[in-house]
Amino acid sequence: MILQIDGHPYHYEMESLCDIFVPYEKVTVVYGRDLPETEPTAAYTGMRVEEGTAQLLVSLTWEGRTEEARGQFPCDHPDFERQCGIEMAILLYGLFVRAAGYEPQWGILVGVRPIKLLRQLCAGMGEAEAVEYFQSRLRVSPEKTRLSVQTMRQEEKLLALSRPESFSLYISIPFCPTRCAYCSFVAQTLEQTARLVPEYVELLCRELQKTAQVAQDLGLRLETVYVGGGTPTSLSAPQLGTVLSAVREYFSLDTCREWTVEAGRPDTFSKEKLRVMQEAGVTRLSINPQTFDDRVLRRIGRGHTTEQTLEAFAMARGMGFGNINMDLIAGLPGETEEGFCHSLEEALRLSPESITVHTLSLKRSSRLNQDGKGTFVHNADAVGAMLREAQEKLSGGGYRPYYLYRQSRMAGNLENTGWAKPGYENLYNVYIMDETHTILACGAGAVSKVRDPGSSQLVRIFNFKYPHEYRSRFAEMLERKDKVRETYARFRCADPVQEIEKIAGDV
């Protein structure tokens, strides 16, 4: 698809809007007024300023037919840049809806964090007006607006626990027994990288030691620990024990409210690994069946069975783990609405403390989409029905939505929602999505997010993505932890924005 940008700065917003309606096509952006050779689908977005008013023109060519829409916006509006972009998005959105015969439930929203946006709107205009703005201006459906309000209210009490000096620790274990067909994360199969694991564990512990020293020097307070991946339990019990022991040795856990380990693949479970986690003080596990249909599991390359999921859950419960999360995915290839409802009922029968319902996000780098053309085309209506069923049954089962986020190329342009029984919400998930406080991240592919305690300024400091890079450039990467100190120091300088941009450029 060709997207033409003419005389305005809303490249990202217009391209993201196109991705909603043509998620498996490459969007080629061109600039200027002269039309290129058009493709079957092409969008033009243009803006001209005349006598203090921005004149907006958009057009869309879809299956050989072209429609256009016009609008205008006053240049003296106090929030001109943002609101004018919204006006242009509404115009293009309307053309897409008419052409495609489909209206996304999240309207023109393209961001990852709709709940954070709603909270900001509520702070500025009050909840009633913010809700009206969500629905009438941003075109969010009443159903998704209600879900957003419920989630925001659940989050508020969790956000209040964070202090200016708070931080969370993320630990990346980028290895999996196999690669799932929908996966786009930087994770390596053990078959490919088994020889790297012992050294990786050793280096990770050194990075944890360095990170703990930085946190101590800055007087930071540890709130949560999250060990993710990949599949952390793909490590052997002694290797996992080494990493968890390093956390206990180097960090003060006196203020730590929760410690999660993603034990996502039931085929990596053992009593020995559970005992290692128990002895370290891990308080929360995530056991992720994704589906309870063995046929679908084989199709997506999960490498485990429903029976193994049930055995893993029973094993964890039997050893005393009282805070377990389970993940399900709506929209998996080959899974019907009835099949998803069966998976949901099975999860509810086990009664974990939290259930996270993901919508399939078909990334370009996933095996399901290797040709870049969307080899699996989802049914947006069916996936929407799955999420409605999940919302009804989880609400009826005593679960409440406590965090929500969205990704690009999600089936039906829908959402991922974490549901929990009261008192069992995962704090780390809320803090990372809201960008509440600093996240110090260790391991390959990890990204530290340093938050200014006095503002919303955020600086990202990246680790190298792949285990072999992490190993070969470890000394260089370890030095990047000193950027955390520098960032906190420059947050206190006279011109923080300029200094923060300089650090971001350096890393």
Tokens of 467: 């285990």
pLDDT of residue 178: 73
CA angle 218, 173, 199 (to 5 degrees): 90
pLDDT of residue 500: 43
Q: Strand 447-451 vs strand 416-420: parallel, antiparallel, or unpaired?
A: unpaired
pLDDT for residue 299 is more than 50? yes
pTM for the whole structure: 0.91
Give the confidence band of 190 by pLDDT, cuts at 50, 70, 90: low
Task: Determine whether 39 is exposed, middle or buried from the number of CB atoms within 10 Å of its CB (0-12, 13-18, 19+).
Answer: exposed
In whole angstroms, how far apart are CA 209 and each of 174, 243, 325? 19, 11, 29
- Residue whose pair of structure tokens reads 């115009």 in the numeric block: 91
| Residues linked to residue 259 through DSSP beta bridges, in sequence order | 225
- Residue whose pair of structure tokens reads 């919302």 in the numeric block: 391
Residues 47-77 pLDDT 10s = 999 999 999 999 999 988 999 999 999 999 9
Phi-psi region of 391 (alpha: psi -120 to 50; beta: other; left: phi over 0): alpha
- The better pLDDT of the pair 456, 273 is held by 273
Coil, strand or helix at 499: helix
Coil, strand or helix at 442: strand
pLDDT for residue 39 is more than 70? no
Residues 323-335 pLDDT 10s = 999 999 999 988 9
Q: What is the mean pLDDT of residues 397-401?
A: 98
Coil, strand or helix at 463: coil
Coil, strand or helix at 188: strand
Element (H, E) at 328: strand 324-330
Tokens of 158: 């969790």
